[in-house]
Amino acid sequence: MIYFNNVSKVYKDAVALDNVTLTVVAGEFVSVVGHSGAGKTTLTKMILADENPTEGTVFFESINVHKLKNNDLTRLRQRIGVVFQDFKLLLNKTAYENIAFAMEAVGKTDEEIASDVPHVLELVDLSHRLEHFPNQMSGGEQQRLAIARAIINQPELIIADEPTGNLDPINTHEIIQILKKINDLGTTVILTTHNRAVIDSVGKRVVTMENGKVIRDTKNGN
């Protein structure tokens, strides 16, 4: 599904990625682990073409993502859901409206929105928060809402960039269980984290990064 072919990213004062070759197969759950500055976020930004490689090529299926024109890049990004550490919710919109906004952006009808939003809120156990605003929710609830928004348009890939970085252990566990459930339903998941306990609880493939390099790639977190 995703293939990094000898990808490097060099800034003026730092090497963010150093000759990375990596394949992610459709349906996988891959945890990318490493300390801050290891290259995890740069790696995920490459998939979205938010960053351009200095050298090498990034493919989504057979598509070179960095050769896409604006309209085609927009369509590609609609196939990917992104979950951020800081949620990036619309604070002036309710839980329902946050998700509806994501559906409106891709042209879904009012009928589709009214049908699908309650289902996705139920999936993340937020049915009781339908009309609540983000500042009326806990951090864990806000992140569950962010996940609901990321999956509402049925993306093929979820990128979760340090989604538990601001959460306590109980909420961290709940978020990981939801991501595993989404993966079990067939969606590919790429999770970046520096938390060893998170990796252990996932129990799937782990890619370890250090100084922009992939230094380890293991199955089942071992």
Tell me whether residue 41 is in a domain: yes
Is residue 193 classed as helix, strand or coil in its secondary structure?
strand
Q: Determine the Cα–Cα distance for residues 58 and 24; give it in Å rounded to an integer.
A: 11
Give the model confidence (pLDDT) of 136-148 as tens digits: 999 999 999 999 9
Tell me how many degrees the CA angle 174-175-176 measures, rounded to the nearest 5. 90
Give the model confidence (pLDDT) of 11-57 as tens digits: 988 999 999 999 999 999 999 999 988 999 999 999 999 999 999 99
Tell me whether residue 67 is in a domain: yes
Tell me whether residue 86 is in a domain: no
Rounded to the nearest angstrom, the gap between the alpha carbon of residue 89 and the centroid of all alpha carbons in its chain is 15
Q: Determine the Cα–Cα distance for residues 33 and 191; give it in Å rounded to an integer.
A: 8
Tell me whether residue 167 is in a domain: no
Tell me whether residue 177 is in a domain: no
Tell me whether residue 29 is in a domain: yes
CATH assignment of the domain containing 47: 3.40.50.300
Q: Identify which of 179, 71, 75 has the alpha carbon closest to the alpha carbon of residue 123.
A: 179
Give the model confidence (pLDDT) of 75-128 as tens digits: 999 999 999 888 999 999 999 999 999 999 999 999 999 999 999 999 999 999
Domain count, the chain: 1
Give the model confidence (pLDDT) of 148-185 as tens digits: 999 999 999 999 999 998 899 999 999 999 999 999 99
- Residue 107 makes CB contacts below 8 A (sequence gap 6+) with none
Tell me whether residue 195 is in a domain: yes
Q: Which structural domain range is residue 23 located in?
A: 1-79+188-222
Quick check: 112 and 103 in contact, CB under 8 A? yes
Tokens of residue 136, six digits: 């009326």
